[in-house]
């Protein structure tokens, strides 16, 4: 019976069937030996069926399972690979159309004039970006109102950690959609919604009310969002949900006293907070006092930015004692806070407890000039890396005291003494104590310091000694009293400034001097400055021929030139009038 049945089965199959079967088995065997990449370029079995090709017939049930199980698996893998390649090609085409470079982990589409249609198209491409880590759609005004089309597909981005939507004109509906999508993005750490005025007026709660206690958010930035007291209250309610928060930036939002009370009362719910920025928030003396009480609960704080709060005069005196709780504070920014002498003396009293302080910004506070000497005795100078003292009305005695302590600044990287007239004729005292082996100075700003030719010669000497070998930014602008000989000598030692990136020798807008005496030295120096990216020489008078030579050299080095040049004839006339 079996032999008869088998014979009958064989009689039903034509010789053509047998030949085709053998060809297919041979093709499958060959295909298995090919690398995975080559399989991307052959048609799938489903395509063959659609084209009317003859399917392979089964010889027996046992051989079917043995021979056909692996080919089916290969076909499925092949389809996935083909889909992935085709999808990535679509992603590349979309991103390159917007003038950006495709990257599987970093999607940067900022400043691309995205439309609502683009957002919808981008949403369809998200399944092909499973490795995406950062998504930046900032500075696209038309994204607002269409964000839900994108967030509905964020479940494909399980590795997404950073999303930036700065200046996108976000609406309340966008905030709701973003908040609802957080549940499907388990690794989200950074959300930047800065410069979206639509977040204010009570709309922030549409986002914060969706936060869950198990979220992993570490950074939240809401700069200049016109937050109201209602918004600050909503944020305060949400802070207990943000136990992992490390960085909070509310700068450029008007924070009234009542809002500050609500906000600071919840800061204790963020024990991991390391950076708090409240710059230009309209904080006053009472606000500083309220914040001071909250500092006891965020002892891990490393960066505190209270700058540009001009109404805070006298507030630091009431807050200073609480700074002693911040044992790990590395950066304190109080520039442009109209600090009084009492404020600064209070800071002097607690400065010795700030043993990890690296950066202290007291610039644009006139009272610093009278208290700097006392402050220098208590600060951990050996680890200070940034000390801006520009526009601090430093007295001659304060300058001498600072110069005498320059030898103690072992880690100093940024020194800004601009707009302190006493620096002129005293620059030698600052530079001579510095040794090449210890110097880490990368930024030196001496704008409008009444520098003389002799001062610039001391800078030249410091270059020769290697003190400025790491310098990246050098600002000598608004020092019109420096003679041509000083500039010529300085540029003659340009070879010692191998790391210099930015150089500024501009004059005041009202000044008008000829650059001809020292321009040849600058032209010779430029090839010796391999890292230079920006040269500013505003308001210097140059001839058309001189400017042509200058631009020719700079164009080869891709250096940005800032020079609203004045004709040399006008400069000559100006000097004759003087």
pLDDT above 60 (res 424):
yes
Give the residue-averaged pLDDT of 474-482: 96
Lowest mean pLDDT among 183-187, 339-343, 515-519, 564-568: 564-568
The answer to whether the CB of 425 falls within 8 A of the CB of 454 is yes
pLDDT above 70 (res 33):
no
Phi/psi region, residue 108 (left: phi>0; alpha: psi -120 to 50; beta: rest), is: beta
Q: What is the pLDDT of residues 446-460, one digit of tens each?
A: 999 999 999 999 999
pLDDT above 70 (res 37):
no
Encoded tokens for 575 = 């000097």
pLDDT above 50 (res 138):
yes
- Please state, in angstroms and as integers, the Cα–Cα distance from residue 205 to each residue in 196, 255, 417, following that order: 14, 17, 44
Give pLDDT, residue 307.
98
pLDDT above 90 (res 536):
yes
Cα–Cα distance for residue pair 15/9, rounded to 1 Å: 13
Phi/psi region, residue 466 (left: phi>0; alpha: psi -120 to 50; beta: rest), is: left
pLDDT above 90 (res 434):
no
- Please state, in angstroms and as integers, the Cα–Cα distance from residue 382 to each residue in 240, 264, 356, 406, 465, following that order: 39, 33, 11, 10, 22
Encoded tokens for 154 = 């964020």
Among residues 114, 211, 232, the alpha carbon closest in space to that of 169 is found at 114
Is the four-CA dihedral 559, 565, 569, 574 of positive or negative sign?
negative
Give the whole-number percent of the chain exceeding pLDDT 70: 83
> At which residue do the structure tokens 């009444």 appear?
450
Pick the CATH number of 274-412 from 3.40.50.410, 3.80.10.10, 1.10.10.10, 2.60.120.260: 3.80.10.10
Encoded tokens for 558 = 């891709």
- Domain edges within the chain: 2-96, 101-257, 274-412, 424-578
Q: In which element (H, E) is residue 247 found?
A: strand 247-249
Give pLDDT, residue 183.
87
The answer to whether the CB of 348 falls within 8 A of the CB of 318 is no
Cα–Cα distance for residue pair 102/95, rounded to 1 Å: 6
Give pLDDT, residue 81.
52
Give pLDDT, residue 22.
54
Q: What is the pLDDT of residues 379-411, one digit of tens each?
A: 999 999 999 999 999 999 999 999 999 999 999
Give pLDDT, residue 71.
52
Confidence of residue 267 (pLDDT cuts 50, 70, 90): very high
Q: What is the pLDDT of residues 370-386, one digit of tens each?
A: 899 999 999 999 999 99
Give pLDDT, residue 577.
37
> At which residue do the structure tokens 């000829």 appear?
514
Give the residue-averaged pLDDT of 269-277: 96
Among residues 256, 260, 269, the alpha carbon closest in space to that of 293 is found at 260
The answer to whether the CB of 169 falls within 8 A of the CB of 115 is no
Query: 530, exposed or middle or buried, with CB in 10 Å at 0-12, 13-18, 19+?
Result: exposed
Give pLDDT, residue 38.
39
Phi/psi region, residue 413 (left: phi>0; alpha: psi -120 to 50; beta: rest), is: alpha
Per the prediction, the chain carries an average pLDDT of 86
Give pLDDT, residue 64.
47
Give the residue-averaged pLDDT of 250-276: 93
Fold designation for 424-578? 3.80.10
Encoded tokens for 294 = 């909250």
Give pLDDT, residue 76.
53
Q: What is the pLDDT of residues 49-68, one digit of tens each?
A: 434 343 333 344 444 444 45
Give pLDDT, residue 85.
75
101-257 carries CATH number 3.30.70.1400:
no
């Amino acid at each position: 019976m079996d032999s008869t049945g088998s014979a009958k089965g064989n009689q039903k199959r034509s010789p053509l069937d047998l030949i085709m079967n053998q060809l297919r088995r041979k093709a499958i065997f060959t295909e298995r030996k090919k690398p995975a990449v080559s399989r991307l370029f052959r048609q799938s079995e489903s395509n063959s069926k659609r084209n009317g090709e003859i399917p392979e017939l089964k010889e027996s049930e046992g051989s079917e399972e043995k021979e056909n199980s692996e080919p089916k698996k290969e076909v499925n893998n092949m389809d996935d690979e083909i889909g992935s390649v085709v999808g990535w090609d679509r992603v590349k085409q979309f991103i390159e159309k917007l003038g950006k470079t495709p990257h599987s982990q970093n999607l940067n589409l900022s400043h691309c004039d995205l439309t609502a249609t683009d957002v919808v198209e981008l949403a369809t491409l998200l399944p092909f970006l499973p490795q995406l880590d950062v998504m930046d759609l900032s500075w696209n005004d038309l994204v607002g109102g269409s964000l839900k089309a994108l967030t509905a597909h964020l479940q494909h981005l399980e590795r997404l950690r950073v999303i930036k939507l700065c200046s996108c004109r976000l609406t309340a509906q966008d905030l709701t959609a973003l908040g609802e999508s957080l549940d499907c993005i388990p690794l989200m750490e950074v959300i930047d919604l800065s410069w979206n005025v639509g977040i204010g007026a009570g709309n922030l709660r549409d986002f914060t009310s969706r936060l869950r206690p198990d979220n992993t958010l570490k950074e939240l930035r809401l700069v200049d969002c016109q937050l109201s007291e209602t918004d600050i209250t909503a944020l305060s309610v949400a802070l207990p949900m943000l136990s992992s928060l490390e960085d909070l930036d509310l700068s450029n939002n008007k924070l009234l006293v009542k809002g500050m009370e609500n906000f600071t009362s919840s800061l204790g719910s963020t024990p991991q907070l390391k950076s708090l920025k409240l710059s230009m928030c309209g904080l006053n003396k009472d606000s500083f006092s309220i914040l001071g009480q909250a500092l006891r609960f965020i002892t891990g704080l490393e960066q505190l930015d209270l700058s540009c709060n001009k109404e805070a005069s006298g507030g630091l005196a009431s807050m200073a004692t609480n700074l002693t709780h911040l044992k790990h504070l590395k950066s304190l920014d109080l520039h442009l806070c109209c600090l009084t002498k009492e404020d600064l003396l209070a800071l002097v009293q607690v400065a010795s407890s700030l043993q990890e302080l690296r950066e202290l910004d007291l610039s644009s506070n006139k009272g610093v000039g009278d208290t700097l000497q006392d402050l220098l005795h208590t600060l951990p100078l050996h680890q200070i890396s940034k000390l801006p003292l520009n526009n601090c009305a430093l007295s001659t005695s304060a300058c001498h005291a600072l110069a005498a302590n320059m030898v103690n600044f072992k880690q100093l990287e940024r020194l800004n003494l601009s707009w302190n007239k006493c620096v002129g004729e005293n620059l030698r005292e600052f530079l001579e104590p510095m040794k090449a082996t210890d110097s880490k100075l990368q930024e030196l700003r001496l704008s409008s310091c009444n520098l003389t030719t002799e001062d610039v010669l001391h800078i030249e000497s410091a270059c020769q000694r290697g003190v400025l070998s790491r310098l990246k930014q050098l600002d000598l602008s608004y020092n019109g009293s420096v003679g041509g000989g000083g500039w010529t000598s300085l540029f003659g030692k340009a070879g010692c400034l191998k790391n210099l990136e930015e150089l500024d020798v501009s004059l005041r807008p009202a000044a008008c001097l000829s650059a001809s005496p020292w321009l040849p030295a600058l032209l010779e120096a430029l090839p010796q400055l391999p890292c230079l990216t920006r040269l500013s020489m505003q308001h210097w008078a140059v001839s058309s021929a001189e400017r042509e030579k200058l631009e020719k050299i700079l164009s080869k080095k891709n250096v940005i030139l800032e020079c609203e040049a004045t004709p040399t004839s006008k400069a000559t006339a100006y000097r004759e009038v003087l």
